Amino acid sequence: VEEVPFTTPLAIPPLAPSRVEPDGTRVFELTAQEGSMPFVDGAETRTWGFNGDYLGPTLRAERGERVAVEVTNELGEATSVHWHGMHLPPEMDGGPHQMVEPGETWRPTWEIDQPAATLWYHPHPHGETERHVYQGLAGLFLLDDPEAAPDLPSQYGVDDIPVIVQDKQFDDAGQLTLEENQSEPGVLGQTVMVNGTVGPFLGVSTERVRLRLLNGSTARTYSFGFDDGRRFQLVGTDGGLLPAPHETTDVRLSPGERAEIVVAVTPGEQVTLRSSEPDLGRVASSAAFGGEDTFDVLELRADTMLAPSPPVPDVLADVPRIKESEAGVTRDFTLAVRQINGRSMDPERIDEVVHEGQTEIWEVRSIDSLPHNFHIHDVQFQVLDIGGEPPPPELMGWKDTVYLEPQRDYRLIMRFEDFTDADSPYMFHCHLLRHEDEGLMGQFVVVGEGE
């Protein structure tokens, strides 16, 4: 990874405007379009974005609200938009069965009924997800719950900052490429950007700042911390806040995972968010997968006068543990190369039939020497145990994506509720996007009790 000086103010994705229809539905508009960005000196890099040149606005809605998103496709090819981490009906999920053709508008609508969280959205076309996300189609979807809102920094763009981290590879003409110097799981880029900004710094005006970290890369796993090793509070993971803050020095995020952290700064100081050699577990060649890479990501520059911030509360959220005894079904998933349980993704095949109202344990294991993770649509799950051991504190909250250290059993527990449709599947897959595109994915449907 190239070290670049931190000379550009961090771009903050704008909050998406919305209108409220007479029946109370909050409506957002997203248009997928072509654009260009001055990522590298002397070149205009062709990009894609939603409502702009690169990435998309931050959508934000409250628990209990009905939302609709009008997704218009102004690209020259079909795409889709998936609401990663969202509990919603399968026809609204935006997977490969909900493609939006060029010139068309798709309008999914659903009611938000899940905890406050940092979710995100991105395309999910069959076999093309890596390319579409890599060109720039992604954004955050923040959920709020006014009835369960601990006192955390929450002024968007001031002390509550989106941090979408991506690594990119450019060809000689300064264009994004997925072809050069690729490692097996996909591109490990030499240029790291945050919210589309290369070499970003962030002016901090408050004693504490909350960073909503999203690994929006296609293949790279990060281990985020600070250059001086300072401790910070991990307050949230994929699907919501943790029961209590976890004080730590680093947090590992594989593609698709999120973490919310709160870090304290002192007046006038500079401190840098850094990614240090992520522990990938027993993969064949950790170095080839970025496991030996350390690089700086974002410089925080504290003002000489800082506005006070409340201390991080000791209790953040009620996250009742789902009990193993509640589970009526256990399923096994073994990941190897480009297959789950020996099969590659077939959009015409339903791999698992789940009954609504059931609690299930999904026992997931990678027997590969490559890095993989595991993402499940529709639900937020809890990690029951890993290799028979209780999960570490950072895996005690709601998750929708989990890194799989090879040769270890991850038992995930989840409840399938509310939405049934025997004809409309949800996906589960490795979120290393090339693996996903090349078949490391399956489909499940949720059906009613008697079906």
Tell me how far, at minimum, the Cβ of 212 lies from ligand C2O, in Å. Answer: 16
- Nearer to ligand C2O by C-beta: 198 or 412? 412
Q: Interaction with ligand C2O in 67-126: which residues (CB under 6 A)? A: 82, 84, 122, 124
Tell me how far, at minimum, the Cβ of 84 lies from ligand C2O, in Å. Answer: 4
Q: The dihedral of CA 421, 423, 428, 431: what is its sign?
A: negative
Q: From 139, 316, 302, select the one nearest 235 (Cα to Cα).
A: 316
Residue span binding ligand C2O (CB under 6 A) among the ranges 185-193, 308-316, 349-357, 424-432: 424-432
Give the type of residue at 359: T
Please work out the total of residues on this chain that contact ligand C2O, with binding judged by CB under 6 A.
Answer: 10
DSSP state of 131: H
Q: Of residues 86, 242, 427, 440, which one binds ligand C2O by CB under 6 A?
A: 427
Q: Answer yes or no: are the C-beta atoms of 233 and 281 closer than 8 Å.
A: no
Q: Of residues 97, 429, 434, 435, which one binds ligand C2O by CB under 6 A?
A: 429
Tell me how far, at minimum, the Cβ of 63 lies from ligand C2O, in Å. Answer: 21
Give the type of residue at 133: V
Q: The dihedral of CA 367, 369, 375, 381: what is its sign?
A: positive
Whole-angstrom distance, CA of residue 292 vs CA of residue 280? 10
Q: Of residues 338, 372, 375, 411, which one binds ligand C2O by CB under 6 A?
A: 375
Q: Answer yes or no: are the C-beta atoms of 48 and 132 closer than 8 Å.
A: yes
Phi, psi angle pair for 32, to nearest 5°: -80, 125
Q: Interaction with ligand C2O in 15-74: which residues (CB under 6 A)? A: none
State the residue number with the nearest CB to ligand C2O: 84
Residue span binding ligand C2O (CB under 6 A) among the ranges 5-13, 225-233, 278-286, 427-435: 427-435
- Nearer to ligand C2O by C-beta: 10 or 112? 112
Q: Is 372 in the site for ligand C2O (CB under 6 A)?
A: no
Structure tokens at 328: 């009526």
- Nearer to ligand C2O by C-beta: 48 or 201? 48
Tell me how far, at minimum, the Cβ of 6 lies from ligand C2O, in Å. Answer: 29
Q: How far apart are the two ends of the chain, measured CA to CA in Å?
A: 52
DSSP state of 420: -
Whole-angstrom distance, CA of residue 59 vs CA of residue 376? 21
Q: Interaction with ligand C2O in 238-267: which residues (CB under 6 A)? A: 256
- Nearer to ligand C2O by C-beta: 50 or 201? 50
- Nearer to ligand C2O by C-beta: 209 or 345? 345
Phi, psi angle pair for 206, to nearest 5°: -125, 160
Structure tokens at 280: 């990938």
**The pairing of beta strand 270-275 with beta strand 8-9:** unpaired
- Nearer to ligand C2O by C-beta: 71 or 244? 71
Q: Of residues 126, 208, 246, 377, which one binds ligand C2O by CB under 6 A?
A: 377
Cβ neighbours for 235, distance < 8 A, ≥ 6 positions apart:
152, 210, 241, 242, 245, 260, 261, 262, 312, 316
Residue keyed to tokens 């890194």: 403
Residue span binding ligand C2O (CB under 6 A) among the ranges 107-115, 236-244, 268-276, 425-433: 425-433
Tell me how far, at minimum, the Cβ of 36 lies from ligand C2O, in Å. Answer: 25
Residue span binding ligand C2O (CB under 6 A) among the ranges 67-75, 139-147, 154-162, 426-434: 426-434
Chain-centroid distance of CA 218 in Å reads 11
- Nearer to ligand C2O by C-beta: 206 or 339? 339
Tell me how far, at minimum, the Cβ of 34 lies from ligand C2O, in Å. Answer: 22
Cβ neighbours for 51, distance < 8 A, ≥ 6 positions apart:
16, 29, 30, 31, 33, 57
Tell me how far, at minimum, the Cβ of 245 lies from ligand C2O, in Å. Answer: 26
Query: Which regions of 97-170 does DSSP assign to beta strands (E)?
Result: 105-106, 109-111, 117-122, 139-144, 160-168
Tell me how far, at minimum, the Cβ of 189 lies from ligand C2O, in Å. Answer: 19
Tell me how far, at minimum, the Cβ of 83 lies from ligand C2O, in Å. Answer: 9
Q: Which stretches of the chain bind ligand C2O, using CB under 6 A?
A: 82, 84, 122, 124, 256, 375, 377, 427, 429, 431
